[in-house]
Structure 1
């Protein structure tokens, strides 16, 4: 975990400095790409044990369907509670044209959820569970996931999903259900934004 915390900012600063432009989508791509690279570097010493340490264990399809359905219902319920966070509006506004939609789906629908799950419910959860307990890992990784969204409204809106994903990780012992559910959730959100945007 310490390796990730040290390496991620160093790589991130270099990548950000090298960016040819600072569009929202490009910055997000660089951010999540940096986190993924730092995570790979952090778990390299584990060798073949790295996937298991991150919770990448196979599970039955029923658990995956349960995770997806629960995420969809919870996400819909949370979306009805209030206005869309400003950061989300900025990223999703102007998603028009096939190329733009595909780029946004690749970053926000695929890369972002994979990286977030690997970092928060893979690396961080595993580190906390190994030092304290699954309960501590569940609570703190869920809170950290929400806090990483920075904008107060966004934090409040993703907190229930953070606890849901954390509970799934705890109860199933696997990261697979949360990765699949998170990808589908984000893909639906991006697709809806692209069709509902003016």
Structure 2
């Protein structure tokens, strides 16, 4: 059956590129046989580099007009992106408590594994050098991840699926997939929808990339600050998470008030996903 979509790259090729990137990443990571000190810090960097190169090859092969979506945003777009980043962080913190707090009493082992035993964002070696692994972590999380993920979810998949299901269906589909790849499912889903709306509103992929970078930077700095202030003799526990429920409530109240005020001032955002995507 002939493909009748206008966007010249099928989503299956995007998924295949990411699958091959994962396979190549696993092989390279095992082949390099890095010391445990380096492994966690280097893995993220390695995966996004491999994925970025395969996606770049796809874009060149299919002549995807990526640069047409890379127009320079205005200063108001940058400011809006930074404000949206602050909102996303607050909403994500609240969403973590909404999702994991009740589960922490019913499924404590699973929640501990998800929240406390997952991959490190920052690395604390007080008896050794932490500069290199934290530099690699910063580059992967704050620089590479936003670029690769925005190209995948807010450009390639969003445009392809918009031809099939319209802007709203594409935004929901790409955001659900984006959220499924992150620990904070609710917060990531909202973040994905916000990034879709920001891209459609501004007409440039630079805006969501900048916003994503700001969001990840705030998360990285929060993790780094918590690491510096932590007591290695008394690690953070599930009971500590449960006792800090008020943090989630506070962030939730601020995020809801912020969202209400923003949508009252920018009512166009409530229907932005039904508009045409840039470049169409």
User: TM-score, structure 1 length as denominator?
Assistant: 0.84
- Please say if residues 154 and 196 of structure 2, whose CA atoms lie closer than 8 Å, have aligned partners that are also in contact: yes
**d(CA) in 2 for partners of 1:35 and 1:89?**
22
Residue-pair matches, total: 193
Structure 1 residue runs of 4 or more that deviate by more than 4 Å after TM superposition: none
List runs of 5+ in structure 1 lacking aligned partners. Answer: none
Equivalent positions of 1:5-44 (< 5 A) are 5-19=15-29, 20-21=32-33, 23-44=39-60
Superposed counterparts of 1:45-84, under 5 Å: 45-47=61-63, 49-52=65-68, 55-81=69-95, 82=97
**Which of 223, 239, 253 is the matching residue for 1:193?**
223
Give 1 or 2 for the bigger CA radius of gyration. 2
Contact 2:92–2:186, Cα closer than 8 Å, also in 1: no
> What's the Cα RMSD here?
2.4
SS at match of 1:109: helix
3-state SS in 1 of match to 2:65: helix
CA distance in 1 between partners of 2:18 and 2:50 (Å): 6
Deviates more, 1:170-179 or 1:25-34: 25-34
In the alignment, structure 2 segments of 5+ residues that lack a partner are 1-10, 101-110, 231-280
Shift of 1:44: 0.8
- Distance in 2 separating the partners of 1:7 and 1:161: 24
Structure 1 residue 87: Cα displacement: 7.3
- TM-score normalised by structure 2 residue count: 0.62
Give the structure with the higher percent helix.
1
- Are the equivalent residues in 1 in contact too, given 2:122–2:134 (CA < 8 A)? no
SS at match of 1:90: coil
